[in-house]
Chain A
């Protein structure tokens, strides 16, 4: 147990270099999160306007899908912000716990992004199949 507490498996010099990198990365993470929040807010406003106007082009399913993607975008932005905060804390304090938290958040961010891409690809293929099927019948 004592050995686990004291021994460093990665040299302090490398960890110092990683601290420097994270200090530079965190600013960009915050910027990306803010942009993501802003764009989601704009898309939510456009959804709200289309609902108030009652434009017939956007159905209930369309609005639900847009809301779902807005929710995922907000979640991604939150994970980016959390990663940036952990990165900042690690750069300032050098606590090992913050480094693992930073990597946890980054992993969640990439996992959600990857899943969203997979779902989008699956939906696109499905739509193409349905579209080509309908085209063949006509």
Chain B
């Protein structure tokens, strides 16, 4: 998401004036963000590694039949490869989003930069949005498959 999209929102949407953040509250916020960013980074790394491992194992599974049995991979293998590659791509994207959110939080805490704090929120928003969209796509595909197979 671009920051310009966020700035484009009409000012009428926030009628109440924004309360200033006191030093004490900002201290609490900083401690909370510090606690969050570590777990975000960890989850980002785990998600990227799981995606990469899925890709490696699926390629090994398919290539094993070619190398050891000397047969061409069945058509179902291509479905497996494509679905695993999609899974890998999405995993890497989500992992990168989490890592980038975590690094924005780190830079905010180090430099006390407001831009970094805003970027941290934007990345987190994108992360939750992407997960939501993936769930919607997954539910739709599941529903279509159920309808297709129940119609047989």
A residues sitting closer than 8 Å to B (CB atoms) are: 3-12, 14-25, 28-29, 31-32, 35, 91-97, 99-100, 103-104, 106-107, 110-111, 113-114, 117, 121
Contacts and interface: CB of A to CB of B under 8 A. Distances in A.
A24 B117 CA distance: 16
Sorting the interface of chain B by its residue count into under 10, 10 to 19, 20 to 34 or 35 or more gives 35 or more
Contacts of B131: 28, 32
Give 4 nearest A-B pairs by CB, closest first: A8-B20, A94-B18, A114-B39, A110-B39
18 contacts: A8-B21, A9-B23, A15-B21, A16-B18, A17-B6, A18-B118, A24-B129, A25-B129, A31-B135, A32-B132, A35-B135, A91-B14, A94-B16, A94-B17, A96-B21, A96-B25, A100-B32, A117-B46
Interface of B: 3, 6-7, 9, 13-14, 16-26, 28-29, 32-33, 35-36, 39-40, 42-43, 46, 114-115, 117-118, 121-122, 124-125, 128-129, 131-132, 135, 139
A135 B26 CA distance: 55
B128 A29 contact: yes
Given A15-B20, A15-B21, A114-B42, 9 more contacts: A12-B18, A21-B6, A28-B129, A28-B132, A99-B21, A104-B32, A110-B43, A114-B39, A114-B43
